[in-house]
Structure 1
Amino acid sequence: MSDRRVAMRPFSWSSSGMFRDLLAGFVVLMLLVAMLRVMYMTPVSLYPAAGGAYLVLAAMMLHGRPAGQQHLGWANRVTLARAVLIVLLTAMLPQPTFVNDHHLLVFTAALVALMLDGVDGWVARRTHTESRFGARLDMELDAFFILMLCLMLVIQGKAGMWIMAIGAIRYLFVASAWRWPWLGSELPVSYRRKTICVWQVSTLMTCLLPWVTMPWSSLLLALALLLLMISFALDIAYLYAHARR
């Protein structure tokens, strides 16, 4: 959850080190799918679903890498490990029966992914390898993770489709900047924004627990959505005021 940015560059196969890291991530993902297949008799369709989602992620990472970057580095490898778990959860979305029968498994995988979110930043600081690419990767993965969790809760019957607003509002904000460029201006660092983000993820994770059911899940999620909307409204008001100066 950072404010760093990254310059985009065309896809190239020259980043052999990064390609090996991505290939290793793919192998780990397929091993996890195979393990689920053995332990829980998951559908065979989980293989192409997980593989396809991962290939999209890998292509985006290769396309978005900075010029000259040949390796991911340890911090980004931790982020990649988190991405593997998020891709695995995403591949489960078309399997609502499996999701509803294994709430605790879904929660555990999501919790590990969430814990790794703090590890990659710590590794980057300890190894002095902070980068705009790593921050952008982390930020986009956070946004997609929240969107995926919202879908997971809809599948589990913890809330209606309205909860998708939590995952979609950030993408709507970015898309709106195409129509109103002042929305794309840089925002100052805000502890309020970071606190609200942590609140969103914590609420979504709490509602994944099997014993958190309706109507309590809906009440918790409604509060999270309200706080998120207030936070975005404050940011929009700030950007609008500075655009008129």
Structure 2
Amino acid sequence: MHSSTTRVNTSSNRQPAGRPPILTALVAAAAFAAGVLIVSRLIATDWMLTPFLAFAAAAAVTIGFLHQSWTAPRFGPANVLTLLRLALATLLLLPIVQPGLATGEPGWAILTLAVVTLALDGIDGPLARANGLAGTWGARFDMEVDSVFALLLSIAVWRIGVVGPWVILLGGLRYLFVLAALALPWLDAPLPARFRRKVVCVMQIATLVALIAPVTPPAWSGPAAFVMLALLTWSFAIDVIWLARQR
């Protein structure tokens, strides 16, 4: 997951992070946290706090960054939608904690939530542009939510026994790239926008979503994951080579 769509909160003059944006984020986060708790109960038929606690922690981090670097006068509906996608993504912790939930009616419910999360990814960017709030903060927020979604999907695929633990690379390659940049700072340089990344990003998540489907043939799962991992690695390699040449 190494693509992003530029959106949310560009402003010609920096404005202080006022109460309205923070308040909007807090209210939305509280509502989504309650939703995560209720949906977890409905799917697992028991009170499972793991998704709720994970979303609460992620929302707290998001609001912390919002307070530090927000520039626009309002949070914007696109960011609210991205926050919703983060809440939906944390529900993937259900089959991670209890792999049995990936089968039967719970499995179909989790698949539906994953498909909705993927579909909403194509809405927040245009929504931000339509509201005149396109910028770097929301683009980074969107990218981080995509990365978390892909990582949780890949762990879920492994936990339910569809593919071996190596499939986590399909969701974790971006985090390995970030860790590598700590040792090699030149990897952290800005990359030019490329449509290739967006296409690979969508294919990556769509493949992982398909792999958690209760009806996906096991014989196809390993090869499909391997082909997608090869394609993702190729895309990362192109960017690494480009960054190396710019040193």
Pick the TM interval, shorter chain: 0.7 to 0.9
Matched, 1:121 2:122: no
Matched, 1:197 2:219: no
Q: Aligned AA for 1:52?
A: L
Q: Secondary structure at the match of 1:200?
A: helix
**Where do 4+ consecutive residues of structure 1 move more than 3 Å?**
3-6, 13-17, 67-71
Q: Percent identity?
A: 32
Q: How does 1:176-195 map to 2 (within 5 A)?
A: 176-195=180-199
Q: Aligned AA for 1:217?
A: S
Residue 40 of structure 1: how far off its partner (Å): 4.5
In 2: Cα distance, 1:190 partner to 1:54 partner: 31
Q: Which residue of 1 aligns with 2:63?
A: 62
Q: Which residue of 2 aligns with 1:97?
A: 100
Greater RCO structure (CA 8 Å; 6+ sep): 2
Matched, 1:229 2:237: no
In 1: Cα distance, 2:231 partner to 2:171 partner: 13
Residue 100 of structure 1: how far off its partner (Å): 3.3
Q: Which residue of 2 aligns with 1:53?
A: 54
In 1: Cα distance, 2:43 partner to 2:244 partner: 52
In structure 2, stretches of 5+ residues that fail to align are 10-16
In 1: Cα distance, 2:81 partner to 2:206 partner: 21
Cα deviation 1:79-113 (Å, max 9, x = unaligned): 11111111222355212222334221111000111
In 2: Cα distance, 1:193 partner to 1:82 partner: 20
Q: Aligned AA for 1:141?
A: V
Matched, 1:84 2:87: yes
In 1: Cα distance, 2:39 partner to 2:188 partner: 43
Residue 213 of structure 1: how far off its partner (Å): 2.7
Residue 67 of structure 1: how far off its partner (Å): 4.4
Q: Aligned AA for 1:86?
A: A
Q: Structure 1 residue aligned with 2:172, among 146, 168, 178? A: 168
Q: Aligned AA for 2:128?
A: A
Q: How does 1:28-47 map to 2 (within 5 A)?
A: 28-37=32-41, 39-40=42-43, 42-44=45-47, 46=48
Moved more, 68-77 or 224-233: 68-77
In structure 1, stretches of 5+ residues that fail to align are 7-12
Q: Which residue of 1 aligns with 2:13?
A: none
Residue 17 of structure 1: how far off its partner (Å): 4.1
Q: 1:205 to 1:109 in 2, by over 3 A?
A: same
In 2: Cα distance, 1:3 partner to 1:73 partner: 16
Q: Aligned AA for 2:45?
A: T
- Name the count of aligned residue pairs: 235
Aligned CA-pair RMSD? 2.4
Q: Which residue of 2 aligns with 1:2?
A: 4
Does structure 1 retain, via aligned residues, the 8 Å contact 2:162–2:211? yes
In 1: Cα distance, 2:140 partner to 2:5 partner: 8
Residue 234 of structure 1: how far off its partner (Å): 1.3
Q: 1:41 to 1:136 in 2, by over 3 A?
A: closer
Does structure 1 retain, via aligned residues, the 8 Å contact 2:108–2:213? yes
Matched, 1:74 2:77: yes
Q: Aligned AA for 2:89?
A: I
